[in-house]
Amino acid sequence: MSEATNVLVETLLDAGRREPARAAILWGDDVWTFGAVDELSARLAHVLVEDCGVAAGDRVAVRVPTRPEVLALNVACARVGALYVPLNPAYTDREVRGLLDDAAPAVLVGEGPRGPREPVVGLDDLLERARSRPSRFEDRASDEGTPAAILFTSGTTGRPKGAVLTQGNLTFGCTTLNRVWGIGRDDVLVHPLPLFHVHGLFVAAYCALAAGATTRLLPSFEVGAVLDALASGTVFMGVPTHYTRLLADERLTADLVRGVRLFVSGSAPMRPSTHEAFTARTGHRILERYGTTETGIIASNPLEGERRVGTVGPALPGVEVRVAGTPPGPVGVRGPNVLAGYWNRPDQPARGPDGFFETGDLGRLHPDGYLELVGRATDLVITGGLNVYPKEVEQAIDGLEGVEESAVVGVTDPDFGEAVVAVVVARPGAELNADAVRAALRDVLAPYKVPKRVVLATALARNALGKVEKARLRRALEDGASPLG
């Protein structure tokens, strides 16, 4: 172990160092031991410092597909004291250029637009150089306030902002979740999530590494591969879209997942019908939780106790959640999980004077602490001076016969200011009529909440984590374009 104390490295590698021969990552037929991950992270740290000139406080941008070496590279950045900047490989070079100009990294690992600002090195090139480097590295000393990563927000409502997360933020997140979700060395995590996102990297992968658990890492979400992995897994973390796709496959049975003890869902709200269908098919209750890029996980339904459908559970231990004003109101959070600030945005403080970060979500806090989310503040539709919460309308639509899912947005209207518009997807084999949908809603919603228009579609626009991109839907509807995903 290195002489210096590095908060994040110690958290991620300590359990594995006690049992270096145990399997840390399963990748196809390959087995990566904890010792192998530790050693490769040390070798990569040498390359970053000696070949790429990376120093503490520098940024290392990474734009590569999922593979085990990415986790070792992430740990290597922590060992050096550099900030890890994951980028979505699906971004265009133009999108990446803007993020690179903002982050100003010392090096970009992977593919990217070549320019005068930073060198670009392929991951395989980096790994080849690492082969000849020492398997031990003297970690840069750090504390909980040391910046560890910059994650850019999705940018669906404007210019992306880089959330600066500290080693303390990330350490608190994975250690707290391991405690409340009971993740330990005997668990096998089935991991199909992307590693450029908080959910896939700082929640799923970090929890497993810190607990000394084994990760069955998958290159992407593919139903057949996930079902095969679940047969020998104990924990699965996914997004609602993953669960609906699993439910569409008849191979998902209670017998297949009998060894799984925990199914977790997040990154987007889950419909009650999905909860009900999954429990009926498998006997398992999905544990729904809530977090943001800037905070990691904020709240979670309990491992033991009531997993209340329609809520994301109470705040994690050590985290405070508030709902301001008359509910539903803005959700704020304060605690050791909250980001340090936004990169290069001194005019946009991340926290208020009282230390609370405003999530941009609207919610209700039940008397027993369970948090119910009703949507994004930016999604609120104000029509004729009256507030319409899209989630309430979506729930009413999703409860209609033949409806698979829906998304409700506000579209500019010369009379009402905004008009409520619903994009509705039918279940396979079902036929829907837009006028019939509106007529049915009049029986369950106040007149001003009933969509002025219902648009039938075959799919909803989503991002890589399955979130419906309402800004994109809104633009398409206002431009007269197709709202399809």
User: Taking 50 as the threshold, does the pLDDT of residue 268 lie above it?
Assistant: yes
User: Taking 60 as the threshold, does the pLDDT of residue 312 lie above it?
Assistant: yes
User: Taking 80 as the threshold, does the pLDDT of residue 404 lie above it?
Assistant: yes
Quote the mean pLDDT of the chain. 93
pLDDT of 471 reads 84
User: Taking 70 as the threshold, does the pLDDT of residue 10 lie above it?
Assistant: yes
pTM: 0.86
- The average pLDDT across 188-212 equals 97
3-class secondary structure for the chain? CCCCCCHHHHHHHHHHHHCCCCEEEEECCEEEEHHHHHHHHHHHHHHHHHCCCCCCCCEEEEECCCCHHHHHHHHHHHHHCCEEEECCCCCCHHHHHHHHHHHCCCEEEECCCCCCCCCEECHHHHHHHHCCCCCCCCCCCCCCCCEEEEEECCCCCCCCCEEEEEHHHHHHHHHHHHHHHCCCCCCEEEECCCCCCHHHHHHHHHHHHHHCCEEEECCCCCHHHHHHHHCCCCEEEECHHHHHHHHCCCCCCCCCCCCCCEEEECCCCCCHHHHHHHHHHHCCCCEEEEEECCCEEEEECCCCCCCCCCCCCCECCCCEEEECCCCCEEEEEECCCCCCEECCCCCCCCCCCCCCEEEEEEEEECCCCCEEEEEEHHHCEEECCEEECHHHHHHHHHCCCCEEEEEEEEEEECCCEEEEEEEEEECCCCCCCHHHHHHHHCCCCCHHHCCCEEEEECCCCECCCCCECHHHHHHHHHHCCCCCC
pLDDT of 482 reads 64
Topology of the domain covering 7-175: Rossmann fold (3.40.50)
What pairing do the DSSP bridges indicate for beta strands 329-334 and 357-365? antiparallel
pLDDT tens for residues 207-250? 999 999 999 999 999 999 999 999 999 999 998 889 989 999 99
Q: Where in the chain is the domain with CATH 3.30.300.30?
A: 380-479
In the CATH scheme, what is the code of domain 380-479?
Answer: 3.30.300.30
pLDDT tens for residues 433-481? 999 999 999 988 888 899 999 999 999 988 877 788 888 898 888 877 6
User: Taking 50 as the threshold, does the pLDDT of residue 1 lie above it?
Assistant: no
pLDDT of 331 reads 97
Q: Where in the chain is the domain with CATH 3.40.50.12780?
A: 7-175
Task: Name which of 61-70, 213-222, 346-355 the model is least confident about.
Answer: 346-355
